[in-house]
Chain A
């Protein structure tokens, strides 16, 4: 009994660690490909007269795209497992094929999106296509492989009833949702609009005027990947890792109490703890950064 619980906690921790890597790789991959919401600015810039060398493969949001790729990797791995291929090899092969699909997607998406800007004078840079696509594929493989391995652990070791491909779809969508929610503001505001004031939102009037020059030469998406790997990526990783770890941890450890209500109670406590931390950070920001203007009705 105790041994089962210890193995369960170990697997939970391992799944959480895999999820953390998946979240970080997913966010950096999407930032290099401008696949999150900031893609609108990459698309808008040439229309405002700002020609750039930023990669843009956003023909789908991150959640459905990762839902597809992780489900594809998981489904193919399940098929390889059915023909008795070694699990580690099956997972790696399934994810490698899913990554090839991601590469095709990235290539066609970049060509389609950038070609649509031809009338604004935006060229399609073949060197950008060649150098960025492979880098996004490398990041995508890490994200897909870790996510599929995590799903395999949930299915084979922790006994979740969903088949591997379905788990891949569920956690792929959740991975994209967590990664885009956490990482997008950091890429959008802090990197694309690095020329705007720190500590304030981007004024609507500045839309489209993204930073296009680097320390030497023109900025490209590898520079953006380097930058977002410092905070946006790791934060997305911790976010998704916590979601997976705590979801499994409370189930594995506390579901046996009070006919399942133990896990629910612990979940409720965790939500309250996160609520307090959120409120603390919100009040800290208000007190530390102060108001931008005097409150309405205050003496001038």
Chain B
């Protein structure tokens, strides 16, 4: 059996695939422009949804995830899956962002971002506490010799036969940044879709604005969660397995995920918007 080694660092961009992604996104944006005009709520919402999706895809790359090896103290990071941890943080952020929607776009998306960052800060802290006080293991990166933020040396704190363990400070910081971007992007998608549904559903369903409000909130919430998962999973495929955060060589792959997220968010976004806008 031939065993192909896993790519460990940045991998080359495929220009054809990236060009196709951009063409697909431009085609969808162009279609929305022709159908609805550029200075309309629907067009602006589509652009916001695409931007939110790209932010989610980018943010996932910051989240330090070690998967199964981390659960055995064999590799650094949080012992769970990339997409699911990012989703947990982003959706906790979306919860806070949805609370703040009546306060306006900027407040809502920043509140969503802070909600995601807070979830990740608490989770990362408990990972460190479990490793330190439950297992007696110090944090050590397997990818860099020196922590890029604190300057702490790493190699001598790796136990024998492992690639490192725990969460070095840069991974903690990466987790918080990833949670912020995920919460911010997810809430942006939710906010944009909610505006479209609140404007269009009363006509479509021949009902008052207050009567359709629960339907609008539910639809926007479901589509926001769905699009969050689409972008988180795309980013997880790009990362392939585990990452330590922004100081991991795999972080250099993020442009490829952003191209994919732009195209996927455009496709999902136009479908979510056309549910109510046509």
Would you call A21 an interface residue if the criterion is a C-beta within 8 Å of the partner chain's C-beta atoms? no
Would you call B45 an interface residue if the criterion is a C-beta within 8 Å of the partner chain's C-beta atoms? no
* Complex alpha-carbon distance, A289 and B96, angstroms: 39
Would you call B80 an interface residue if the criterion is a C-beta within 8 Å of the partner chain's C-beta atoms? yes
Would you call A226 an interface residue if the criterion is a C-beta within 8 Å of the partner chain's C-beta atoms? no
Q: Chain A interface secondary structure, helix, strand, loop or mixed?
A: helix
Given contacts A170-B94, A203-B160, contact A182 B71 (CB under 8 A): no
CB within 8 Å: A-B pair count: 296
Given contacts A37-B68, A200-B160, contact A181 B80 (CB under 8 A): yes
Which of A125-133, A157-165, A216-224 is found at the contact surface with chain B?
A157-165
Q: Which residues of A contact B130 (CB under 8 A)?
A: 182, 185-186, 231-232, 235
Would you call B153 an interface residue if the criterion is a C-beta within 8 Å of the partner chain's C-beta atoms? yes
Given contacts A190-B135, A263-B100, A285-B139, contact A40 B68 (CB under 8 A): yes
* Complex alpha-carbon distance, A243 and B120, angstroms: 9
Q: How far is the CB of B256 from chain A (nearest CB, A)?
A: 24
B84 with A173: CB separation less than 8 A:
yes
Would you call B47 an interface residue if the criterion is a C-beta within 8 Å of the partner chain's C-beta atoms? no
Chain A contributes a number of interface residues (CB within 8 A of B) equal to 84
Given contacts A174-B92, A279-B169, A289-B136, contact A203 B79 (CB under 8 A): no
Would you call A116 an interface residue if the criterion is a C-beta within 8 Å of the partner chain's C-beta atoms? no
Q: Which residues of A contact B103 (CB under 8 A)?
A: 255, 259-260
Q: Which of A185, A207, A264, A291 has the most CB of B within 10 A?
A: A185
Q: Mark A275-300, 1 if CB is under 8 A from B, else 0.
A: 10111011011100101111110000
Q: Which residues of A contact B119 (CB under 8 A)?
A: 174, 178, 243, 247
Q: Which residues of B contact A102 (CB under 8 A)?
A: none
Select from chain A the residue with minimum beta-carbon distance to B66: A37
Q: Footprint of A on B, CB under 8 Å?
A: 67-68, 70-74, 78-81, 84-85, 87-89, 91-92, 94-96, 98-101, 103-104, 107-108, 110-111, 114-115, 117-119, 121-139, 145, 150, 152-153, 155-162, 164-169, 172-173, 176, 214, 217-218, 221-222, 225
Q: Footprint of B on A, CB under 8 Å?
A: 36-41, 61-64, 160-163, 166-167, 169-171, 173-174, 176-178, 180-182, 184-190, 192-193, 198-207, 231-232, 235-236, 238-239, 242-243, 246-247, 251, 255, 259-261, 263-264, 267-268, 270-271, 274-275, 277-279, 281-282, 284-286, 289, 291-296
